[in-house]
Structure 1
Amino acid sequence: MEKQFTPRALASISLRSEETGCFLPVDYERLDYEINENDLFKHDWRSRSKVLVLHYIFLKWTLAFLVGLLTRLIATLINVAVENIAGYKLLAVINYIDKENIVE
């Protein structure tokens, strides 16, 4: 007689990974970031002129620079906001202490 599994039971079953030897869930999705090395891709890349290749490389580095710049800008704004909030909290505590005469 064949064993019947519910979807919940199937989700909890683990498989051993061939690469790491660790147990992974059945619905484990592996992301493959390898460079596409098929013949069509190679032919297309070789058919481009040096100007187009340099243009592509320049655009790629420009995009990376803009992402870094945007990240830096957002981090700076968050830092300024946190410092301002902390300053307002400190002023509120100092005013409360002065108003209530807690410290004499």
Structure 2
Amino acid sequence: MNAELPSMRVEDKLYYNRYLVDVGRPHVKVRAHATPSPQLLALLKACPARCYELNDKGQVEVTVDGCIECGTCRIIAGPTGDIEWSYPRGGYGVLFKFG
């Protein structure tokens, strides 16, 4: 028998993760920019946790609450210097649950 597994949206799966936010010490920062580079704009769609958004001025901002620390932003925008990324301090960041 080949029973189909129920489908689940990424957003629903991310709901099960828990985060301990290190207030005032974000592990990802977007460098100041007047207009976003193509790499920063790519993060709007590439980040699986949707942590990157455009603000009212058309600049890319990051909200680290909910970051799954996958490294996608490091690969896309890290080499260009558009973001600063470091590991969260011990005990902070994402706590994966249920695999």
TM over 0.5: no
Structure with bigger helix share is 1
Q: TM-score, normalised by structure 1?
A: 0.20
Q: Which has the higher contact order (CA 8 A, sep 6+)?
A: 2
